[in-house]
Amino acid sequence: MIKPHNIYIHVPFCIKKCNYCAFFSRACTEPDWDKYEENILKEIKYWSRKLGKISIPTIFFGGGTPSLIPIKTFENIISTIKSNFNLDKHCEITLESNPGTLDKNKLSDFVKAGVNRLSIGIQSLNDDKLKFLGRIHNAEQAKDLLIAAQNLDLRVSADFIYGLPHETHQDIINTCKDINCLGLTHCSMYELTIEPETPFGTMNLQLPSNEEMAEMYTAITENLNLPRYEVSNYASPGQECRHNQNVWDGEPYIGIGQGAAGRILINDVWYEQMGEQQKFEEISNQVRAIEKLITGLRQIRGVKLDSNIKKIINFDFVNNNPELLKLISENRLAATEKGMLILEDLLLNLTR
């Protein structure tokens, strides 16, 4: 009996690359959607043959820019998943979107086709900052899309980027106040990082120092009216992204589409997967346990302690460092607020 698997579908196209972006996507004004659809449907059917008609708790369309998908293509993908797997009654179906590519009519079509959660890349509520980031939309377009989604009673999340050059602690406090007025129940706050292969990577930008970034991070906790549930994610209770929570908890997921990776579980054996056959390699229980520890500890509710994870944890270190780690139940270990700030170091000491 194969466990439920979540599904991640990658859409590797964008209208234009943003100045900071190192995600797997390419600028393409007219993607070959027929070819894209053909490949995605083929992969869905392949995994159904391999895993059987297993149940699917969540589907996440990430990118790139999934809101670019033509509705017909999207409908065909969803109906193929439905006929090849067993979609949970309350399956969470998330679509990532760029406000420059989605209006309320197309959004309403996505909802009719099954989307029940929209993630909007707002990134900033300041038009100058949006221009600097290389976004193709302005703040008003982003707010309009948010309102359209809220009017459709969708679960909505928004992404923001902070820590731009010259941004101050006070700027972040003001940003949080503006975000609080948007009526969001979920948002993600990402610190700007400079990747060498991006336009920002060639510009010698002066970002705030590590200390300033840490102060901004604390300011977000103190000023955003949503509680943090993961290092970069904030939500009202019950509005967390279930897909990501499942992945962070170490549940299996299938990665579909070019650039997507998954973790497949068959008969208690874990496999690292990319594409249909591009990569399908067994991973040891120990390696999988380390992966789960890394993603699990990013959550406020901590990591689920299964027998393989228990084998790699140094419990003496846990007991001797209550200011960094806490057992929140027999089955979950979490980092404290202080531990969260030094997660990488913590992980080095925590495993044996």
The residues of the shown chain that bind ligand SF4, judged by CB under 6 A, are: 14, 17-18, 21, 23, 25, 63-65, 98, 121
Q: How far is CA 35 from CA 31, 38, 59, 73, 257, in A?
A: 9, 5, 21, 10, 11
Classify 277 as helix, strand or coil.
coil
DSSP 8-state code for residue 200? G
- For residues 340 and 257, give the distance between their C-alpha atoms in angstroms, rounded to a whole number: 33
* 36 C-beta neighbours (distance < 10 Å), count: 19
- Strands (DSSP E) contained in 23-130 are 26-27, 55-63, 86-97, 117-123
Neighbours of 211 (CB within 10 A): 8
Other beta carbons within 10 Å of 197? 9
Residues 125, 139: contact at Cβ < 8 Å? yes
CB of 120 to ligand SF4, least distance (A): 11
Q: What is the smallest separation between the CB atom of 148 and ligand SF4, expressed in angstroms?
A: 19
Taking the least distance from each CB to ligand SF4, the nearer of 196 and 237 is: 196
Q: How far apart are CA 119 and CA 68, in angstroms?
A: 14
Closest approach of Cβ 23 to ligand SF4, in Å? 4
Give the C-alpha separation, 54 to 44, whole Å: 12
Min separation Cβ 24 and ligand SF4, Å: 8
Q: Is 93 in contact with 114 (CB distance < 8 Å)?
A: yes
> In this structure, are strands 228-230 and 117-123 parallel, antiparallel, or unpaired?
unpaired
Closest approach of ligand SF4 to the CB of residue 122, in Å = 12
By C-beta, is 255 or 339 nearer to ligand SF4?
Answer: 255
Q: Which of 267, 250, 168 is nearest to 209 (CA)?
A: 168
Q: Which is nearer to ligand SF4, 9 or 325 (CB)?
A: 9
The residue among 64 and 302 lying less far from ligand SF4, judged by its C-beta, is 64
Of 142 and 325, nearer to ligand SF4 (C-beta) is: 142
Nearest distance, CB of residue 137 and ligand SF4, angstroms: 10
6 contacts: CB under 8 Å, gap ≥ 6: 56, 57, 58, 59, 60, 243, 246, 247, 251, 252, 253, 254
For the CB of residue 26, give the shortest distance to ligand SF4 in the complex, in Å: 9
Q: Which is nearer to ligand SF4, 65 or 188 (CB)?
A: 65
Measured from the CB atom, the residue of 243 and 292 that comes closer to ligand SF4 is 243
| 233 residue type, one letter | N
Q: How far is the CB of 136 from ligand SF4 (least distance, A)?
A: 8
Q: Which is nearer to ligand SF4, 80 or 98 (CB)?
A: 98
Residue 87 tokens, joined = 């979609």
Nearest residue (CB) to ligand SF4, 6 versus 98 = 98
Nearest distance in Å: CB 220, ligand SF4? 20
